[in-house]
Structure 1
Amino acid sequence: MNLILFHVYNVNLTVKQILFFKTEKCRVPETPAGLTITTDVTDNQIRKGQHLTFACEASNHIIKGNATLECLENGRWSNPLPTCEAAKDCRRPPPPLSHGRAKPGTRYPYRHNDKVEYVCDTDYGMEGGPFKTCVDGDWVGEMRCRLAHGCGRPPHLSDGDTKTSTKYQYQHNERVEYICQQYYVMEGGPFKTCKDGEWTGEIRCLRKLKFSFIFFHSVKIQVKNHFGFCFLILFNSRGVIDIYKIIHDCL
């Protein structure tokens, strides 16, 4: 920071001294090949307190040094310009996981930024994860497998019910079958499964629509509405129409 002294004369030729503070700016540095500035910079200089952030252009390179620099009041940067270096491979296999395992990989050694997915043994649930990532030669990612939680009673299904009577408590991986009421058809399902304290599985019961008309022949047509859903429409000889929402063989 520089101090600048001005002499100001008024109409009576009286001298006044005014002291101004001049704040230095930092010049945006030139970056070597492979290193890029990710901060939005519109000028070749930025003010005190502002920051520049750097990144490597190649995904298999990493920043060495401070990735973010701050412009100081003396016009200098807070740290030297970072550099980009080729990241190391992970030559050790993914580390073991108690009560779990890594899914088999197809590459060895693993490259920088490669991910390995882990799964827990039966009756165990995962906290954290499920991936470990190779970062410059080391495996990064925290997870553990612990005994999975059970579930309470299965959730209510509108216009449907469970096929059998329910219990107060279910174990991890237990499942319950649902059915829909008369004049309703099921979408998804028919099972919900207890997964580490939560019931999973999407089920809906959709009402079959019926109308009365007079027809002389049986007709079956398939139509698609503006929502993209397909319906199978059945006309019988008594003039009754059944409309079913269908999933497969859509137009």
Structure 2
Amino acid sequence: MLKMKYCKIFLFLLLMIMGVSTNAQEVTCEGEQLINVDIVVGNPGKAPPYKPGHILVFRCTDVKLKMHGQQVIECLSNGKWDYPYPKCGDVTCLLNTKKENIKMDRFPDFECPVTPGYNLTFSCNGQGLILKGQREITCQSNGEWSSPFPKCEDKHTEGHTTSCGPPPDVNDADTIELKKHEYNTGERVEYSCFNKYTLDLRPPFSRYLTCEQGEWRGTIKPYYYFIGDKKLGAITSYRCESGYRQTAAKATCTRDGWTPKPLCAEIVCAAPNIPNAEIDGGQSENYKIYSRIQYKCRSGFEPKQPVQITCNPQGQWTGIQQCTVSEKCGPPPHVNDADTTELKKDEYNTGERVEYSCFNKYTLDLRPSFSRYLTCVQGEWRGLNLK
């Protein structure tokens, strides 16, 4: 008995020397303050205690806010999160003002943070330079530019390939636009996942691949979004990627997968219906967000200048101007072997008329249905059936 007692004492002292406490607490990660952020998914749950291996997925409390930080974090074995809790704030796009030999025009002029909808156009400063990349880019609703900032390069540079072939295939994801056969340096493509997957946007991952001197750069990593319960009948919240809208408030696990199908529908603008207008280049059934089309009002309607409209992130057209009846006419039309008796003006008001007279060997037929006059009627010239 005495020997056993000494053995226990020796073991206790040994544990003390090694720094091991007989009352050691279980390792957990502490929760942090949520700033405009909700925990949308937790594995095994949203509430503490958070033990090593515990995963949390966040989203902003308002779709108009941008997340700063990582959407997915994990509790590590040392009781620390692999990334800090994210925060959500106003959506802005960063300006890259360190590009050399490039001129950046801002539309409209601003000194405040760049918000979605702002456009930038670029040109090169200096002779012998060409622009590589998109000439115009737009600040998008997700706080990212529609394309990378372009570069200005010497147009005589040779000896290397600057274009890329079609972007690579990615399991469980694809490009949101049809692939082209060739891309220039600076162009990039955006990927989107299929229904039950989402993109891992933690560094070094991204939703984009960029063509750089003949090679595609960047890493796309899809992962299964529903980290929590996958049992039949399970109901969980979910969130769609930028450019897509939820088709339901919750997703339900069924034998055929998550329903409804699809969980996310792409946000598009329907073909615009603008009376008395003609779309340049024809019209499609649907248009992706940030698409731009141009139309002209028919003769006799205003405005006379071409109008450009944009599909916004809410799936609505912005910049539409209705074609209204014009009260004025342009110069009167040309007539073979005849001309106006007075100098033509650039513009005529409704009710004004012009008289025509034939050249030396011709005369006007003034029988009924013919006339020597044309009259401006709400933007159109009426009368004068010359023969």
Q: TM exceeds 0.5?
A: no
Greater fraction of residues in helix? 2
Q: Shorter-chain-normalised TM-score: which range?
A: 0.3 to 0.5
Greater fraction of residues in strand? 1
What is the TM-score of this pair, normalised by structure 1?
A: 0.34
Larger relative CO (CA 8 A, sep 6+): 1 or 2?
Answer: 1
